[in-house]
Structures are given as C-alpha cells and as structure tokens.
Amino acid sequence: MDTSIRRQRHTGDGRTAGTARKAGVPGPARRRWAAVTAAVAVMTVPLTLGAAGDAGAAGDRSIVFARYTATAPTEDLYAISPGGGTSVKLTPTPTVSDVMPSWSPDGKRVAFVRYGAGGAVDGIWTMTAAGGDLKAVPGTKGASDPAWSPDGKRIAYAKPVGSQREIYVAALAGTSATRLTHTAADDLHPTWSPDGKYLAFNRADASGHSRVMRIRLSTLTETAVTGASSHDWTPDWSAAGRIAFSRVDSSGFAHLYLVRPDGTGVHRITAARFNDKNPSWSPDGSRLVFTRGGGDDADPEHLYLVKPDGTALTRLTKTASHDLEADWRP
C-alpha cells in the first residue's frame, strides 16, 4: 500500500504538510492527506464484555477504531462502548498496522486494512469481533477503505490503478472482483446504500477538490452528490438514507455535514474550530461517532458522539491519543 494512504489521515486544511513531508509523502498526496502522531492512554471505567469475549455485550453496540501512539507508532484496532469505558485492544500486532475497520452487517466480524513487515503484509483482512480467526481477502494488495455490503456477501474498497485509486467490489473470498470507476481522479472511501444498490464515495481530483459521488451498481451510472469545487471526504450512508460526510468549509476547518443522496438538504452538524472527520452512524441513526482533532499534528484526536441535529455532543475518548476511523457495530 502506498504511503499516501496507509500512513496519512485527511484533515483537508493543509496545516499538517510539514509532518507529511517528513513521512515521505509525495506532494499531491500531502495536499489531500495529513500525517498524525501523538501519545495515548486508556480510560478507567470497565467495558462490559460479551459471553464470547467480544467488545460489548449483546445490547452494547461497540465502536471499533484505529489508534496509535508516539511511543508505539504501529496502529492497532480497539473497541469501546458508546457509553464510555476502557477501550479494549483487538489487534496487538507490534510489527504490522491495522486500520480502517468496517463491521459486518451481523456484527460478528470486522474487515480492516493490514500492512507492514516490509510490505510482506498488505491488504484487507477480516477477523471476529474479539480479534480472532484472521483471514486475508485475496487480491486486495494495496487496497484501502473496506466497506461491508448490507447482505454481508461482498466488500467494496479502493485500490490503486496506475497513479490513482478506483472503487472495486469483491466477494469475501476475493473472487469476482469488479472495478466500478474509471477516472483520472482518486476514488476513495465507499459506503453502501441501505438496499445495496448504490455506493457513495469521495472523488479527489488533482486540484485538491473532493466531492461526494454516487454510483448505481447495476448500470455504473455516476451522479454527483456535492459540488465540484467542494472539499468533501469520508461519506457514511445511514440506514435512514442520509449521508454524513466531512467538509472543509470557508472556516478553514473540517466540519460534519449531512446531505440526501440526491444532493439536496445539505446541512452542517458541527461548527467548532476543530477538524471533524470520519463520521459513522449508529445503527438506529440517532447519533454519529467521529474523530475531532486540532489544527496541528501534535494535537490529540478523540472520538466524539453527536446527534444529527448537532446537539448532545459528547467526548468519548479522553486521553492524549489519536483515535481514528471509528465504525459503529450494527
């Protein structure tokens, strides 16, 4: 996997270019992606564990996310209850990084990206909710942004084709991989419609703009959801049909927005002078979990919860950590 994806996290405001340069990221990628570093500790209230040992009891729909520290820069996956508590490490892997988790629709497995060990490990894997029974998805070398289909049979992801990334869909066994997009732009972060007939994703062009797009799987017909001059990233499609995404707006910061799949009803959720990104809907659509960070790489990034109308903002993780790419268990 190229370093522009596997080691960088988009904030969109360009304030982290210095760190990205130190990480060896090419110029175009620096403009779209930001490096993150910091320290981490865990919270002190216990998290309830289910009978099978997975994070969260049957009624506790846990949130899985990626975390790493300045002293231990290899990312691992963690789970935490939406009610707070101690985060549980799912992938204690000191030589490989685990990022970009995505729950299966039945809540029994997690797809994620694993890379490291000099490039020997690189691609999409799946595991149980407790972190066991690891299985590689064949044919996904270099892939990122896995998203499990509503029927649990397929995974959508972004994969390099030449100098850009395109959206693919494949069976869990890695078979029947189908390329969906064919552009000169980077197509990233697919998310499924509730009926499984569409994908939304963000398309980043060479000018630094990124817009939310929608594609119908049966015809590969593409429709723009947001404007061509936007800076829109990381969409997530709710069961109720709304799409949440992160937009760098006129404030210079990334805020959370909502939009209908037809492009109408654009509405801002957050407005603080922080960078808010990677929204993920709760199963009932009543809340979102997202990452909030400051304007500098040294600032921590925490998980927050918020209602779709912008109320009931709650900080979920509370230590000097970088907690990223959360996904809410179905």
| pLDDT of res. 290 | 98
| pLDDT of res. 20 | 27
| pLDDT of res. 68 | 82
The single-letter code of the amino acid at 140 is T
Domain count of the chain?
1
Q: How confident is the model at residue 296 (pLDDT cuts 50, 70, 90)?
A: low
Angle (nearest 5°) at CA 213 between 181 and 312: 135
Tell me the HSE value of 41 on the side-chain side, using a 13 A CA sphere.
Answer: 6
Assess contact for 81 and 47: CB atoms under 8 A: yes
Contacts of 218 (CB under 8 A, 6+ apart): 197
Q: How many CB atoms lie within 10 A of CB 24?
A: 12
| pLDDT of res. 223 | 98
**Assign residue 265 a region: left if phi > 0, alpha if psi is -120 to 50, beta otherwise?**
left
Q: How far apart are the C-alpha atoms of 298 and 293, rounded to whole Å? A: 10
Residue 151 exposed, middle or buried by CB count within 10 Å (0-12, 13-18, 19+): exposed
**pLDDT tens, 250-285?**
999 999 999 999 999 999 999 999 999 999 999 999
Q: How confident is the model at residue 299 (pLDDT cuts 50, 70, 90)?
A: confident
* Lookup: tokens for 245: 């995404």
Strands annotated E in 181-221: 186-192, 198-204, 210-216
Domain of residue 253 covers 3-328
Lowest mean pLDDT among 84-88, 186-190, 303-307: 84-88
- Of residues 311 and 40, more confidence is placed in 311
Q: How confident is the model at residue 297 (pLDDT cuts 50, 70, 90)?
A: low
pLDDT at 135 over 70: yes
Lowest mean pLDDT among 27-31, 92-96, 201-205, 311-315: 27-31
pTM for the structure as a whole:
0.84
| CATH number of the domain bearing residue 259 | 2.120.10.30
Residue linked to tokens 């209908």: 260
Average pLDDT, the chain: 83
| pLDDT of res. 69 | 75
Q: How confident is the model at residue 310 (pLDDT cuts 50, 70, 90)?
A: very high
| pLDDT of res. 60 | 66
Q: How confident is the model at residue 206 (pLDDT cuts 50, 70, 90)?
A: very high
pLDDT at 10 over 60: no
* Residue range 193-218: mean pLDDT, rounded: 97
pLDDT at 14 over 70: no
* Lookup: tokens for 120: 């020997």
Listing DSSP states for 216-245 in one string gives ETTT--EEESS-TT-BEEEEEE-TTS-EEE
**pLDDT tens, 113-128?**
999 977 778 999 999 9
Most confident of 22-31, 62-71, 139-148, 294-303: 139-148
* Lookup: tokens for 207: 């000018």
pLDDT at 40 over 50: no
| pLDDT of res. 265 | 96
pLDDT at 222 over 70: yes
Residue 97's DSSP bridge partners are 115
- Give Cα separations from 53 to 88, 108, 176, 250 (angstroms): 11, 12, 34, 46
Lowest mean pLDDT among 37-51, 271-285, 296-310: 37-51
- Give Cα separations from 210 to 1, 159, 172 (angstroms): 21, 17, 29
* Lookup: tokens for 243: 């799409």
| pLDDT of res. 174 | 80
Q: What percentage of the chain exceeds 90 in pLDDT?
A: 71
Residue linked to tokens 């990452």: 291
